[in-house]
Amino acid sequence: MPIHERLESVYAEVLARNPGETEFHQAVREVLESIGPAVGKHPQYADAKIVSRICEPERQIIFRVPWEDDRGEIHINRGFRMEFNSALGPYKGGLRFHPSVYLGIVKFLGFEQVFKNALTGLPIGGGKGGSDFDPKGKSDREIMRFCQSFMTELHRHIGEYTDVPAGDIGVGSREIGYLFGQYKRITNRYESGVLTGKGLIYGGARVRTEATGYGTAFFVNEMLAARGDSFEGKTVVVSGSGNVAIYAIEKVHQLGGRVVACSDSSGYVVDEKGIDLEVLKEIKEVRRERISAYADAVSHARYVEGQQVWSVPCDVAMPCATQNEITGKEAETLVRNGCTVVAEGANMPTTPEGVRLFQEAGVAFGPGKAANAGGVATSALEMQQNASRDSWSFEYTEDRLEDIMRDIHTRCLETADEYGMPGNYVAGANIAAYTRVADAMLALGLV
């Protein structure tokens, strides 16, 4: 899709000012291709250069993270925090610890987070952070030392009214605990709202662990309902086998679907009877083994090494692993095998060519900024509980999450209809989020 003529110069400027950051370029282009109708309808946005301002982070923080391993060897990693936009509230977004992390990844994630957070309707801005540190193969004490070093620098940039990090790939409840402990020690403040994804015993929210996966399943349920359908009897394929994938599988099963395949970076497993969630949780959350161990434990399952999961026929595909895992080739395979709904549980897991092929084939496509917003939405609910010194039940929090995902789905569809693109969730999500952020930026003046 071409970029609106009034936005071409903005994109050219993004390319020039952010060389080599291909993921960020991709994320910006995807938004700019969608919001042209809104730019035409609201000239005040162009006059205030809202798009140019949204594409430039308010603050980019890069720092050194020195730490010592169990053998006494010193390592130096790089830490990032991208405080992208705070027009709607404090910066909000996760921390990712993975070797692939560099400025372009963090910037793309932060940019996406601005729009995702706006779609929730909650008072949170967008940010993201992380490090090129790899927690795999590290001892608990090594991870603790790294997290303490990371927070020693990060603490000066965050706060419950400034910037509220959470977890992402490589950052779970263990890492959040170490990070919060160091923040508390350095600041001498028990500021529960400074981090989300915390353990229940020290201020965490129920459903936060499940939230992104549950939320994606809730969103797909709404997509199916909009087509007069449901999960009942549907065959589902989920990529990944981490936190998001596990709880997407759990909620899909509760809603009547059957997840027959999931994966990790080594390959994928197929279980035609439906993935046994207890076995998967034991392998991934307790034993921390490769997905091949599932086939060892479940006799009728089969393991395929070194391949992606998208060749497995399904009605619904839920990419929950990492960015750009569905290219045009995988999209063609999914369409050919009869897939009718795709929803992104990960951030930008589908390439532009893949998105185009899905839309041309009439596949309902839910972009990550809408479909996986459940994680950050529940983080915002955790912030509410911390601010009120309260703790909600699992059932109440899950009901709030389901309501938020239903509202996001409605907002996307209604906005797409309003701008003459019925059923286009990508355009609906981008325009709805963009106009909300733009209106707030106009109200706050040139800051």
Cα–Cα distance for residue pair 381/367, rounded to 1 Å: 22
The sign of the torsion formed by the CA atoms of 235, 240, 241, 245 equals negative
198 is in an annotated binding site: no
Phi–psi pair at 69, nearest 5 degrees:
-85, 180
Grouping H, G, I as helix, E, B as strand and the rest as coil, residue 240 is: coil
Has 92 been labeled as part of a binding site?
yes
Cα separation, 283 vs 264, in Å, equals 12
Residue 379 marked in a binding site: yes
What residue spans of 55-208 are helical by DSSP H? 103-119, 140-154, 173-187
Give the single-character DSSP code of 296. Answer: H
Token reading at 385: 């509980």
Give the active site residue among 107, 128, 251, 369: 128
Q: Which residues of 44-75 are buried (b: 16+ CB within 10 A; e: fewer)?
A: ebbebebbebbbebbeebebebebeeeeeeee
Report the alpha-carbon distance of residue 51 to residue 14 in Å, rounded.
11
Site of tokens 């981090």: 195
Phi, psi dihedrals of residue 196, rounded to the nearest 5°: -120, 165
Which of 2, 215, 115 is closest to 428 using CA atoms?
115
**Separation of CA 303 from chain center:** 27
Residue 107 among the catalytic residues: no
Handedness of CA 271, 277, 278, 281 (dihedral sign): positive
Cα distances (Å, whole numbers) of residue 410 to 320, 359, 415: 22, 19, 8
Extract the tokens encoding 306: 């070194």
Binding-site entries: 92, 113, 116, 167, 212, 243, 379
Residues annotated in a binding site for NAD(+): 212, 243
What residues form the annotated binding site for substrate?
92, 113, 116, 167, 379
- Known catalytic residues? 128
